[in-house]
Copies of this chain bind each other. A is one copy, B any other.
Amino acid sequence: MNLKNCTVSVFGLGLLGGSLAWKLSRDRAVKSVAGWSRNPETVRRARETGVIGRACATAEECASLGDVLILAVPIRSMEETARRIRPAAGPAVRAVFDLASTKTEVGRKLAPLWGPCYAGFHPMAGKERGGLENADPALFQGAVCAVVPFENTGEEALGLAEELAEALGGRPLRTGAEEHDAAAACISHFPVLVAASLALLAGEETELHPLVPLLAAGGFRDTTRVAGGLPELGADMASTNGEQIRRLAGKYRAILDALLAASPEELEALLARAARCREAVLAGKGTLSRKRG
């Protein structure tokens, strides 16, 4: 079954679920888009604005309609939502994806419920502000979408996940759950803690030095941007990917200490290396883009 012949049911209509539903609806990329949210007002608004084609009053109703089920609820509600909709989902279900930003723990809970239909799906895109009011059908344009198979995941589900990535304007990339979580901890989850620590430090320092907020400029704004986001999201990431985050924290402390102890000449060399590392990491996207034509 191709994605374009599927009804896609979206559970959770926040920034990610709302943007995904909106993009599929707007482009008529699938047969129809059904949506459910814990908040009935959100469902009503999503229907009125064309984000979804069919408003569902219950998660069970939403599950009964879909060929492809997409779980876009907070990480802490993933398992509960998945268990709740399992009995209502018909035998027609071809694929079940979660959009969680960590994969190992979520997959451990969801994979046994859904067998070959289940795969992890993580579009590498976000915004400082969440919620349907910030949803944007262009959110995933050019974004890498991690497609994460588990032990029993079937090829049909993986194929649909890759079609979904392309329908969103993104670029599918298959990867294992642990590999995903290690890399995501490095470029997304741990940086949230680093940025939050800087923001808390600036808050403390403002008490001592009232000049701090008066001098704050673009550098501080950018360095702390990911700490301006949704605290519950950060807490979910950290609590389900804690092992990787603690591993990275150890290495990070050693690196920061080396910078602090360096002579000016050594520091200049280390900062030059840091700039090259940053370029290389950010250029990695270009490589993928070229590889995939």
- Smallest distance from the beta carbon of A203 to chain B beta carbons, Å? 3
Q: Are B245 and A249 in contact (CB under 8 A)?
A: no
A48 contacts the other chain (CB 8 A)? no
How far, in angstroms, from A288 to B217 measured CA to CA in the complex? 13
A81 contacts the other chain (CB 8 A)? no
A77 contacts the other chain (CB 8 A)? no
Q: Are A256 and B193 in contact (CB under 8 A)?
A: yes
Q: Report chain B residues within 8 Å CB of A259.
A: 193, 196-197, 238
How far, in angstroms, from A209 to B178 measured CA to CA in the complex? 10
Q: A193-B260, A223-B194 are in contact. Are A213 and B285 (CB under 8 A)?
A: yes
A228 contacts the other chain (CB 8 A)? yes
A219 contacts the other chain (CB 8 A)? yes
Q: A183-B205, A264-B239, A271-B231 are in contact. Are A124 and B199 (CB under 8 A)?
A: no
Copy number in this complex?
2
13 new A-B pairs (CB below 8 Å) besides A179-B209, A224-B274? A125-B217, A126-B218, A144-B215, A146-B215, A194-B194, A206-B280, A213-B283, A223-B225, A224-B278, A231-B270, A235-B265, A235-B268, A238-B267
A interface size (C-beta, 8 A):
97
Stretch among A62-70, A160-168, A184-192 lining the B interface? A184-192
Chain A contacts with B in 205-235, Cβ cutoff 8 A? 205-206, 208-209, 211-229, 231-232, 234-235
